[in-house]
Amino acid sequence: MSVALLLVLSVCILAMAILYASVGHGGASGYIAIMALFSLAPDAFKPTALVLNILVSAIATFYFSRAGHFSWPLFWPFAATSIPFSFLGGYLRLPTHVYQPLVGIVLLASAYRLFPRKDPEAAEVLRPSIAAALIVGAVLGFLSGLTGVGGGIFLSPLLLLLGWARIKEVSAVSSLFILVNSVAGLLGHVGSLQTMPRYVPILAVFALAGGVTGSFLGSSRIPAPGIVRALSVVLVIAGFKLLFV
């Protein structure tokens, strides 16, 4: 890859990291879409995206938690079942040509439902039962393993649409949810690290810069309605990636 092309790719990674981190996401689906557009080797998609996802989601977790938005009681039931089921979903190798378009449509529909919301902080929050959170965590983990997309892309809109959390709390919980599932996914496919391009450390630097910028803005500067709109954009990117990339 030429220096000029690598620079353009790195800037795209930076922009994607800023957008995703502002809503507490790691950006795996966006990175995969970018790598596909740049015609990189498909074998490198998952390990590269997971490494960048871990870096950015870790930063987002730190910033949103430090700002006081994280809720452990909300987080742990989803994570408890999502981690083992993400292993199971990744192991089964079921046909993706059926699942990916379906999930893409779900994400686009979620983006459509979320975008018109004018004041997401005004609605009453109704916490899910532990049983419901455990079941949802298992389903999302399994779906994440099947599609190779970070579980937070499913968890965030679900928490908002069902009124289970406020927007910045959603971002904080989703960031750690993505982090633990990404680490689990990478450990489950540790052999794939051999297929990562040698320039991934350069991409990681740009992803880190974007993660810091986006997490700072999302946790303390961007108002809740703005985060909902940013999340809608993230869902649209991820949905089109699943449908067409």
**Helices H, strands E: what count in the chain?**
10, 0
Tokens of 86: 């993400």
Q: What is the mean pLDDT of residues 189-196?
A: 70
pLDDT reading at 38 higher than 90: no
User: Does residue 91 register a pLDDT over 80?
Assistant: no
The pair phi, psi for residue 41, each rounded to 5°, is: -65, 125
Residue 226 has pLDDT above 90, yes or no: no
Q: What is the mean pLDDT of the chain?
A: 85
CA 228 to chain centre: 14
CA angle, 159 then 53 then 69, to 5° = 40
Rounded distance between C-alpha atoms, residue 166 and residue 164, angstroms: 7
Rounded CA separation 134/132 (Å):
5
Q: What is the mean pLDDT of residues 12-38?
A: 89
Mean pLDDT of 6-10: 95
- Tell me the pTM: 0.85
Share of the chain above pLDDT 70, in %: 88
pLDDT band at 147 (very low <50, low <70, confident <90, very high): low
Which residue range is the domain that position 175 belongs to? 3-244
Q: Is the pLDDT of residue 217 over 90?
A: yes
Question: Mean pLDDT across the stretch 4-20?
Answer: 94
> How much is the pLDDT for 122?
55
Q: How far apart are CA 27 and CA 213, in angstroms?
A: 14
Give the pLDDT band (50/70/90) at residue 95.
low
Which tops the pLDDT comparison, 39 or 145? 39
Q: Is 240 left (phi over 0), alpha (psi -120 to 50) or beta?
A: alpha
Other CB atoms within 10 Å distance of the CB of residue 4: 8
For the chain, the domain total comes to 1
